[in-house]
């Protein structure tokens, strides 16, 4: 704990560890926006910022799936390269309704990457970790045989007030039949 003595006050500075002791700011792990565990070895989030790199390093990622079409930022690319993390970029435009066009073939190809355990641990992200990421995770949940109401509950938890009926319709109508032969050995939901 650092004490501020500039004005005579004693204010704690920095953060605290689980044991209650002070920790340096360098020790603080900051997850990306909307970060969550999807399944064993699969994570989701919004676009990682440099402040999140320490947290991402702690995940020991092998792969990152970016669902944004823009070129990957140089600091992020350097971070991935320096840690031997493979980038899979599937550019899906972040369009607003009513002109949402989620390409089914792109989601299918991204799912193949997610389903391949050689890519695990993997982080799936888009800009905010809501719509594009929500669609990909929703389609994964369908493969895991989740009921639609649970899939939509999860989607809405991340999208919140910005939930899109068109995304949920996409998830519901997505054809999973061509992916059913892929093993779900990573999944705790596999029977």
Q: Which residues are catalytic?
A: 126
Say which residues have a Cβ less than 8 Å from residue 127's Cβ, sequence separation at least 6.
Answer: 46, 47, 68, 94
Whose structure tokens read 């140089």? 74
Which value, to the nearest 10 degrees, does the dihedral of the CA atoms of residues 104, 109, 114, 119 take? -160
Task: In whole angstroms, give the CA distance from residue 3 to residue 10.
Answer: 5
Task: In whole angstroms, give the CA distance from residue 31 to residue 34.
Answer: 8
Contact 46, 129 (CB under 8 A): yes
């Amino acid at each position: 704990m650092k004490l501020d003595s500039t004005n005579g006050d004693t204010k704690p500075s920095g953060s605290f560890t689980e044991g209650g002791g002070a920790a340096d700011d360098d020790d603080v792990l900051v997850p990306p926006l909307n970060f969550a565990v999807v399944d064993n070895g699969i994570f989701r989030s919004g676009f990682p910022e440099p402040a999140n790199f320490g947290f991402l390093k702690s995940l020991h990622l092998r792969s990152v799936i970016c669902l944004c079409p823009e070129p990957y930022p140089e600091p992020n690319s350097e971070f991935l390269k320096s840690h031997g993390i493979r980038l899979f970029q599937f550019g899906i435009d972040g369009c607003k309704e009513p002109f949402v066009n989620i390409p089914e073939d792109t989601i299918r190809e991204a799912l193949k990457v997610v389903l391949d355990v050689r890519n695990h641990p993997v982080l799936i992200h888009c800009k905010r970790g809501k719509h594009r990421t929500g669609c990909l995770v929703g389609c994964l949940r369908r493969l895991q045989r989740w009921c639609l109401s649970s899939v939509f509950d999860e989607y809405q938890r991340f999208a919140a007030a910005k939930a899109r009926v068109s995304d949920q319709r996409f998830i519901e109508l997505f054809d999973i039949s061509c992916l059913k032969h892929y093993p779900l050995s990573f999944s705790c939901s596999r029977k």
